[in-house]
Amino acid sequence: MIYKCTVSYDGSNYAGWQKQINAIGIQEIIEKALTKINKEPIEVVASGRTDAKVHALGQVFHFDATIHMPCENYKHAINALLPYDIRIVKVEEENDDFHARFSAKYKRYDYVCSFDKDNPFLYKYAEFVPDTIDIEKMKEASKYLLGTHDFTSFSSSRIDERKPRIKTITTIEFVMETKGFRIIFKGTGFLRYQVRMMTATLLEVGKHKIECEEVKEILEKKDKMACRYNANAAGLYLVEVLY
Amino acid sequence: MIYKCTVSYDGSNYAGWQKQINAIGIQEIIEKALTKINKEPIEVVASGRTDAKVHALGQVFHFDATIHMPCENYKHAINALLPYDIRIVKVEEENDDFHARFSAKYKRYDYVCSFDKDNPFLYKYAEFVPDTIDIEKMKEASKYLLGTHDFTSFSSSRIDERKPRIKTITTIEFVMETKGFRIIFKGTGFLRYQVRMMTATLLEVGKHKIECEEVKEILEKKDKMACRYNANAAGLYLVEVLY
């Protein structure tokens, strides 16, 4: 039986979803819990990786279980073995052809910016930006990123050359919050570092350090060296994966 | 010159305000920063201690400085030397007779309760309680704690026998929040563990494990062994000290 799990985690203490050399990955911790429950090695497949310090409200993974039990019981059994900063939110039964990565249709990432730099509770959960930032200009610049593009310019140099770098962004929305704002990105998928690099570039526009049109120029270069900006991992949240 | 400082901190990573054996206290970190700025040993005096893992939004301390500079500059100089989870919010010049502990007239502590036990971001910042909790009953029971009483029953056994244990609580307010609530305690001062022990006792009432009247009975015993409940330090915030 294939089980689909939705998991929420505070990424602060982890090297990211995947195991790193000398550092613990979230995947590893979840697999250990499932292996204990199933009494045989269980591997999980996520919708995609999240980097070190990046958070998730709705990361999705699947696993093929030998032990069957009602979904709610599975949820409690896994949570009982997980640390408090990783919580299974939902467990669902799926058909055999369900695949957390290949079946994913849309993803939503939020990037959280705060004006409240004297707040000691936020540095692991937001990027601090000046409250003078020009959000209208950021909105204007973000329009260049909407639609279907080759996003090579907004990707890590460690990217796999063989993978397609054409993605579709359907939504970039700015939501004002108490002492800050969040940028909501929705699309068919995102390259490694893409959301953070796009955000950092938009923040440069908002700080009047570059012009709106430079976002378009960077995008059109399709060059991994074109964008020099990368926002803090702490502000990034994988919010939702749709199937 | 006496400077009064308001400081906010995430207590998660600290042994409390005061240095403990083999553990770092917040006071120590602030004194180290001030000593560096003043180029001679500086000691700070707080409005009171906070225990390990307890947070502060508005703890107050004072220090006697040899180096004089505008308050805003002092704030930036100290913050530049502090870790991100300790932030000086305000620096003010005071008269020589100002004393952060002895001049304090009122304190406000908030205790934060959350229904959202699957939220991996909250376990260091709130106490998880069931959403079936009877808040009306808690409000009713809290009335016994209002006013001037000997709060020995709601204090640590490690309390100093010589210190007065009569305190006045002027406000106990329940504020509903998204997926939880906070209890606001205001008073002339609080004994060690008092807010956490009062909260834990009220939570027992809310869970229908004890009757409202038992709060009164515990209080009237004036016995350090009378209350067996103590709420998680993570939910407690020193919000404000008034002078």
| Lowest-pLDDT range of A154-168, B52-66, B131-145, B196-210 | A154-168
Single pTM value for the model: 0.92
B160 has pLDDT over 70: no
How does pLDDT run across B98-117, given as a tens digit for each residue? 999 999 999 999 999 999 99
Contact A120 B88 (CB under 8 A): no
Alpha carbon distance A232, A142 (integer Å): 19
The residue type at B54 = V
Of A164 and B134, the structure prediction assigns the larger pLDDT to: B134
pLDDT at A185: 98
Two structure tokens written together for B226: 């009378």
- Cα separation, A163 vs A140, in Å, equals 30
B47-99 pLDDT tens trace:
999 999 999 999 999 999 988 999 999 999 999 999 999 999 999 999 999 99
Chain A window 115-134: which residues touch B at a Cβ cutoff of 8 Å?
Answer: 118-121, 123, 125
Lookup: tokens for A187: 């699309």
Average confidence (pLDDT) over B183-196: 95
Q: Write down the pLDDT at residue A20.
A: 77
Q: Which sequence positions of A are flagged as catalytic?
A: 51
User: Which DSSP string corresponds to A101-157?
Assistant: TTT--EEEEEEEEES-TT-TTSTTT-EE--TT--HHHHHHHHGGGSEEEE-GGGS-T
A232 CB within 8 Å of a chain B CB: no
Per-residue model confidence (pLDDT) at position B156? 80
> Exposed, middle or buried: residue B18 (CB in 10 Å: 0-12, 13-18, 19+)?
middle
Integer Cα distance of B198 and B192 in angstroms: 11
The verdict on a CB contact (< 8 Å) between B120 and A86 is yes
- A188 at interface of B, judged by CB pairs closer than 8 A: no
Q: Does A178 touch chain B (CB under 8 A)?
A: no
pLDDT at position B67 is 86
Beta bridge partners, A4, equal A62, A92
- The predicted structure's pLDDT at residue A66: 83
Nearest to B120 among A9, A119, A123 (CB): A9
CA distance B214 to chain A (A): 33
Q: Report the share of chain B in percent with pLDDT over 70.
A: 98
pLDDT score of A183: 98
Of the candidates A172, A170, A171, A167, the residue with the CA atom closest to the CA atom of residue A149:
A167
Cα separation, A22 vs A188, in Å, equals: 32
Block means of pLDDT (10 residues each) for chain A, 243 residues, are 97 91 90 95 95 96 92 96 97 96 96 96 96 97 97 80 85 97 96 96 97 96 91 97 97
> Helix (H, G, I), strand (E, B), or coil: what is residue B40?
coil
Do B87 and A125 count as a contact with CB atoms less than 8 A apart?
no
Question: Which pairs count as long-range contacts for B66-70, CB under 8 Å and 24+ apart, including other chains?
Answer: B66/B38, B66/B39, B66/B40, B67/B37, B67/B38, B67/B39, B68/B1
Strand-pair partners of A240:
A108
Mean pLDDT score of chain B, rounded to an integer?
94
CB atoms within 10 A of CB B124: 19
Q: Is the pLDDT of residue B159 over 70?
A: no
**A to B CB pairs, distance under 8 Å:** 40
> Distance between CA atoms of B34 and B37, rounded to whole angstroms?
5
Report the C-alpha dihedral over residues B151, B158, B62, B1, rounded to 10 degrees. 110
Q: Is A92 on the interface with B (CB under 8 A)?
A: no
DSSP B116: -
